[in-house]
Amino acid sequence: MRDETRKRLERVLLMRRIKWGAAAIGVSAAVVGAFYWKSLDIMVVTTKPVDGTVVYVGPPAGKYKSVIAQTNMQVDIKLDDTRVAHLLTPRERAPKVGAHVEIADHVHGSGRHTFGWK
């Protein structure tokens, strides 16, 4: 094999290895980024109380409503800052429509807001 041909072949093989390495690094970075984002989404940064008025109390909506509906009720609360919070509560603790309640606004590391009973 001539020297020029061998150098060209080695260059092509080196470029192939570099491409595979770059692809592996890219996939690894995507996986690490996804886990980092998920950890931010799980972490609750702040919890603050918010007030609102109950606008709906009824059976829960969703795919597994037959299982959940036996013990829980869906409560929709119109917050004083015009947002609407959807919560599940046990049937025994379900407030009446029109009741003024205070709930907790959980702000996650990713910026997502979830609501829960105090």
CATH number (domain holding residue 101): 2.40.50
Residue type present at position 56: Y
Q: Are residues 77 and 108 in the same domain?
A: yes
Write out the residue range of the structural domain in which residue 1 sits: 1-42
Residue 93 sits in the same domain as residue 112:
yes
Residues 28 and 65 in one domain: no
Residue 96 has what pLDDT?
A: 92
Phi, psi torsion values for 10, nearest 5 degrees: -65, -40
- Is there a single domain that holds both residue 112 and residue 76? yes
d(CA 108, CA 47): 9
The domain total for the chain is: 2
Q: What is the pLDDT of residue 110?
A: 85
**Prediction pTM value:** 0.67
> In the chain, what is the straight-line distance between the N-terminal and C-terminal CA atoms, in Å?
79
Do the Cβ atoms of 85 and 79 come closer than 8 Å? Answer: yes
Distance, CA of 109 to CA of 54 (rounded, Å): 28
Give dist(CA 78, CA 47) in Å, integer.
18
- Amino acid present at 39: S
Give 100-117 pLDDT, tens digit per residue: 999 999 999 888 899 998
pLDDT at 69 exceeding the cut of 70: no
Q: Are residues 15 and 4 in the same domain?
A: yes
Does pLDDT of 65 surpass 80?
Answer: no
pLDDT-derived band at 91, boundaries 50, 70, 90: confident
Structure tokens at 81: 């800052």
Alpha carbons 66 and 89: distance in angstroms, whole number: 15
